[in-house]
Structure 1
């Protein structure tokens, strides 16, 4: 959120949101700008965890959107893979945040968890 690619990533997300939820796009754009401002202000105050918290909040927001409309999953995946991920420069930048996974399976259930890419091939 504090890199030069931020404006491009924000524009891509807002454009996508405008296609899937046009009435919400303006509010989403304003919320993204506010989120970035919050992170920058917190960093100046020495709070290095602020970005992780904001990113987690946006993750929750996107998860709720997908829960309400699962048909959006493929479009969001394409947006992330084709437009946003290339802006991140995976090899050059440090990642922020952490993930905690918890799962419980019973009977013959299986649990597959991953913090990044996971490829599962049929039986």
Structure 2
């Protein structure tokens, strides 16, 4: 059995894929963040744009997101802490030159009409 890209001990088909395909709504900010990490790993820029809050979507460009997602090899996700609407995580990846990199962020999410959205984050 191959676990989901997000690090959960479930298969991708039973974990993040239903959120990415729109079959299910992410029930928590953590679930949305995990599915967004998986969207980077699977190069799904449309999902990343769709799950970015409208108030900050203008600061994100689909082409740039897709370029960053595809130019890196996503290795591992660690959720360090979470509240109802924030997630502090580390995402490990290899850049386009094969160098190990770390993206550490404290992300803010917002629940609107039963849908979670990524608003913004502070980098460490």
TM-score, with length taken from structure 2 = 0.29
Structure having the higher strand fraction is 2
Greater C-alpha radius of gyration: 1
Higher RCO (CA 8 Å, separation ≥ 6 residues)? 1
Structure having the higher helix fraction is 1
